[in-house]
Structure 1
Amino acid sequence: MKIDILYKPSYSVAKINLDSGESIKAEAGAMMSMSSHLGIETHKAQKGGFLKSLKAAFLGGESFWMNTFSAAQPGELLLAPTLPGDIEKLDLNGTIYVQSSSFLASSPAIEMDTKFQGMKGFFSGESLFFLKLSGVGTLLIGSYGGIEALDVDGEFIVDTGHIVAFQEGLDYKITKFGGWKSFFFGGEGLVAKFSGKGRLWIQTRNVPTLGAWFRSELPPKKR
Structure 2
Amino acid sequence: MDFEIADGHSYATLEISMDAGDRVGVDPGSMVIRSESVHSETNSGEGGLGGMLKRAVSDELEVLTTFMEAEADDSRVVLAPDYLGDIAHIDLDGTEGVKVQSGGLLAWTEDIERGTARNDASNFFSSGELTVLKLDGSGSAFVSAFGAVREETVTGDDPLVVDEDHLLAWTDGLSVSRQKDSSIKSSLLGGEGFVTKLSGEGRVWVQTRDPMILYQGNGN
Shorter-chain TM-score above 0.5 = yes
Q: How does 1:1-223 map to 2 (within 5 A)?
A: 1-45=1-45, 47=47, 52-53=52-53, 55-56=54-55, 64-74=63-73, 75-94=75-94, 95-117=97-119, 121=122, 124-128=123-127, 129-153=131-155, 154-178=158-182, 189-212=193-216, 215=219
Q: How much has 1:46 moved relative to structure 2?
A: 5.5
Separation in structure 2 between the aligned mates of residue 105 and residue 136 of structure 1, nearest angstrom: 14
CA 1:64–1:19: 2 relative to 1, 3 Å: same
Separation in structure 2 between the aligned mates of residue 149 and residue 44 of structure 1, nearest angstrom: 32
The 3-state SS of whatever aligns with 2:143 is strand
Separation in structure 2 between the aligned mates of residue 115 and residue 47 of structure 1, nearest angstrom: 18
Q: Which TM-score applies when normalising by structure 1?
A: 0.82
The 3-state SS of whatever aligns with 2:165 is helix
Q: How much has 1:134 moved relative to structure 2?
A: 0.5
Aligned residue type for 2:208 = T
Separation in structure 1 between the aligned mates of residue 201 and residue 176 of structure 2, nearest angstrom: 11
CA 1:13–1:63: 2 relative to 1, 3 Å: farther
Q: How much has 1:63 moved relative to structure 2?
A: 8.1
Deviations 1:192-214 (A, max 9, x none): 01111101000000111443356
Structure 1: which 5+ runs fail to align?
217-223
CA 1:33–1:213: 2 relative to 1, 3 Å: closer
Q: How much has 1:168 moved relative to structure 2?
A: 1.6
Contact in 2 for aligned 1:46/1:113 (Cα 8 Å): no
Separation in structure 1 between the aligned mates of residue 140 and residue 23 of structure 2, nearest angstrom: 11
Q: How much has 1:157 moved relative to structure 2?
A: 0.4
Q: How much has 1:187 moved relative to structure 2?
A: 6.4
Q: Kindly tell me the number of residue pairs found equivalent between the two proteins.
A: 207
Q: How much has 1:56 moved relative to structure 2?
A: 4.7
CA RMSD of aligned residues (A): 2.9
CA 1:206–1:194: 2 relative to 1, 3 Å: same
Deviations 1:60-92 (A, max 9, x none): xx9811111111212110111112110111221
Contact in 2 for aligned 1:85/1:144 (Cα 8 Å): yes
The 3-state SS of whatever aligns with 1:126 is helix
Separation in structure 1 between the aligned mates of residue 180 and residue 168 of structure 2, nearest angstrom: 20
Separation in structure 2 between the aligned mates of residue 35 and residue 175 of structure 1, nearest angstrom: 48
Q: Which is helix-richer, 1 or 2? A: 1
CA 1:188–1:205: 2 relative to 1, 3 Å: farther
Aligned residue type for 1:11 = Y
Separation in structure 1 between the aligned mates of residue 62 and residue 26 of structure 2, nearest angstrom: 10
CA 1:171–1:45: 2 relative to 1, 3 Å: farther
Contact in 2 for aligned 1:45/1:56 (Cα 8 Å): no
Identity %: 31
Structure 2: which 5+ runs fail to align?
none
